[in-house]
Amino acid sequence: MPLALKCCMDPAKFIMDAVADVFPVDRREVKNPTDLAWACVLILEAAVPVLADPDPKIGAARPLVPWAARERAQEMARVWKELAEQKGGVEWTKPPDAHAFLQHVATFAVVEREDRGLYRRIVVSFSWRRQMPRLALTLGLEEEMAGISSHLACYCVLVSFSHIVVATPIVVVYVKC
């Protein structure tokens, strides 16, 4: 899929259009028990190499996520946060929805410094998902990894999050693999 996305004229817009019917809000007319947030996560994960790798001909100066796409991504993230809080907080959202939100924020590089607490709450709440440590580092939570691990150890959840004991170079190597 990343190879196909590299051929797109505007991969950021294409990806947001692809997930817009179900993220940040499920807008499908006929509600289906099938949770499409998983599909959103897969699409967003496939987009990372396309939106993060610099163009070999132009170099790292090429804006991979155009400002219009970044603004749209920020708006989608804002809507998701508002809806999550209306439902009782991020802890009460479905795991695929929370994962899709974090992946969306990471993919389009719309990380907000003031939302670090929110990102941490999501990582802790859904720590059993194998992608959470990588997303936590991508979202700028590397300095909080030891605290997150300690918090999880208090609740005996560390087994599933054990590869993030402390933010050491070993963790970075593991996450990049």
User: 0.95 cut: is pTM over it?
Assistant: no
Does 99 share its domain with 53?
A: yes
- Of 75, 110, 145, the residue that ends a domain is 110
Does 71 share its domain with 9?
A: yes
> Does a structural domain hold residue 147?
yes
> Does a structural domain hold residue 23?
yes
- Of 60, 82, 110, the residue that ends a domain is 110
> Does a structural domain hold residue 121?
no
Does 19 share its domain with 75?
A: yes
Could you give the number of structural domains in the chain?
A: 2
Provide the mean pLDDT of the chain. 77
In this predicted structure, what is the pLDDT of residue 155? 62
Does 88 share its domain with 150?
A: no
- pLDDT tens digits, 40-69: 899 999 888 888 765 555 555 445 788 899
pLDDT at 35 over 80: no
d(CA 132, CA 99): 8
User: CB-based burial of residue 35 (10 Å sphere; 0-12 exposed, 13-18 middle, 19+ buried)?
Assistant: middle
Does 152 share its domain with 103?
A: no
- pLDDT tens digits, 115-162: 999 998 888 888 777 788 888 888 888 787 777 777 676 665 544 454
Does 162 share its domain with 100?
A: no
| Structural domain boundaries enclosing 50 | 2-110
> Does a structural domain hold residue 43?
yes
> Does a structural domain hold residue 37?
yes
d(CA 55, CA 62): 7
d(CA 103, CA 99): 6
Contact 116, 125 (CB under 8 A): no
Place of tokens 């006929």: 30
